[in-house]
Amino acid sequence: MKIDGTTFGTITIDGSIYEHDIIVRLSGEVMKRKKKLSKKLYGTSHVLSEDEARFLFEKGCEQVVIGSGQMGNVHLSPEAESYFERKGCEVLLKPTPEAIQIFNRSSARRIGLFHVTC
């Protein structure tokens, strides 16, 4: 599985174009991000809540790569940051184009979350 690239509002994985935020599971399964888990608390999907962090995490995950949008507007809530720390999971938070490169190069057991707009 390879993430081919991103443009504002899209991400392309193995030639398939997704027009929404996505999660890449440890298995390589691609699924739509559950933004409601963060939006219900913060009113925006630009802050990742602890509930969304819990949904995102999988046992055996060593690294979470988060694409924070084309302009880097997404960030972790303090609670989400603490949750990943307690799980011993490294979090790499970078603008989506940069996060894609990191995700593709990483040999860690990793999960990706990619925000495709700002």
Q: What is the pLDDT of residue 97?
A: 98
98 inside domain = yes
Dist. CA 17–CA 85, nearest whole Å: 32
2 inside domain = no
Dist. CA 32–CA 82, nearest whole Å: 24
Q: What is the pLDDT of residue 37?
A: 96
Residue 37: closest CA among 50, 25, 24: 50
Residue 93: closest CA among 72, 109, 108: 72
The token duo for 41 is: 């608390």
Q: pLDDT by residue (tens digit) across 42-57?
A: 999 999 999 999 999 9
- The CATH number of whichever domain residue 11 belongs to comes to 3.40.1230.10
14 inside domain = yes
The parent domain of residue 98 ranges over 7-115
Q: What is the pLDDT of residue 28?
A: 96
70 inside domain = yes
Q: Which residues pair with 32 in a beta bridge?
A: 22
CA dihedral 91, 88, 39, 46 (to 10 degrees): -20
1 inside domain = no
Overall domain count for the chain = 1
90 inside domain = yes
52 inside domain = yes
Q: What is the pLDDT of residue 47?
A: 97
62 inside domain = yes
Q: What is the pLDDT of residue 60?
A: 96
Instruction: Residue count of the chain, please give it.
Output: 118
